[in-house]
Structure 1
Amino acid sequence: MRQNPRQRAIVDLVRDEDVTRVIDLADRLGVSDETIRRNVKALVEGGLLTRSHGAVELTGAAVEAPFGRRMRVNAPAKRALARAVADLVEDGQTVMIDTGSTTTYVAQALAARRRLTVVTNSLEIARHLLDRNESRVYLAGGELRADLAAAVGSEAEGFIRRFRADVAILSIGGVDARAGFTDFDLEEARIARAMIESCERTIVAADSSKFGRRAPVSVCEILEVEAVVTETSPAAELIARLGDQGVRVLAP
């Protein structure tokens, strides 16, 4: 079915954040119970949701993919740091965002910003920001990988390099005092590298599980990042190393 922006937001909340009670959906979206019930009814009739005893759930037509399951891992922490990242972005800026569950939460938080120009390789990030507050979304093409819900490869990398942006917002596999910022996937690291080199500044969004972890593929040196936004401060050694290289650590 064709969904309006509120209906898309309802499906997002049910799928990505496990908000299932109709009353909670109304509260999260800041609308009346009547408005939510009307939109839920349309989604039920369209085959995307089923409803029972004041709650809703996804139907087989909207089953959760592997990427969606990763969205649930450490979700409260990711949601908190995403809001802090969004506070570092101003209306009207050009932003590059790579694929990842954490950066998808950032995209949700950025939906409140106006007139953004967003460049991404992530299907999920593009979906969250499409048709929101006069923002424009450019989605890189290339090989689509289901595990990433994103495009990778030379075509995607080349597309990204055609833009010049204010800020890159990146997810990572790990950050280590010696190894710097690393990832587990070579294709993801190449996309991140292209974004770093196309932007004035770089912000890394990383929950605390990434601290002290050294993934096999290098993304960038510590000094190439302006700020790391997380939900809790890392260990003293890493804090010192980041500070020595001029990197701010922001924990909401």
Structure 2
Amino acid sequence: MFSFFKKKKTLREIIPQNFVDMHSHLLYGLDDGAKSLNETQDLISDLKSFGFAQFITTPHTTPLVWENTKEQILDQYRKVGKELNMSEVELRVASEYLIDDSFLKRLENEKLLTVKDNYVLIEMSYINPPIQLYEIIMELNSQGYQPILAHPERYNFYKNDYDSFKKLKSAGCLFQINMLSSTGYYGAGITAVADYLLKENMYDFAGSDVHHQKHISAFNAEINLKNVDAFESVLNKNEFFRQ
């Protein structure tokens, strides 16, 4: 008897070969990502087995939690580069910046670590957006940066407020989907928001946002999206970051 139901693909099955990841936490010792050199190596090895080829790792810069300075991130990147066989790993570094009320001061005092050229990865608190959100975006633009908002689908305060997503896009934000949001890893509600944003063609890039082995295991989960073709198209947009 033939099944009328098409088997869902797993996330690992649809990753383009030689995929370029632009959001991860692979550098050990900086944030809630990898905790040791062995873990850094294992995460990279696992991702490569899925088809990943280039990595732009993005440790958090989060006031009062992970107070990583640009110099600290670059120093750790150089250290890890010496410890790894860099001829076998195409690893670059940027940062994922929490935008809060102190972020404008940071913009005044330092040049940001970008994922490519002027493209900078930003995130918000999961509790509420910063009061100066649009002022921050405008200031980033005025200084020549192109903000990419990490995982917009995960901000629950926007769950039923789709006009805010459109307003953010109009203000000049690009959107990056977390790949695991496609599987229900963060919850069915977040997958539903991601599906909406995919349907509306609002995503520009995709990132693994891998921190640890639980994330790696979740790549074996089935995709729970209606707009799978749109998701695959977003994955292919990461070609922009290839070097």
TM-score (norm 1): 0.36
TM-score of the pair, normalised by structure 2? 0.37
Structure with more of its chain in strand, by fraction: 1
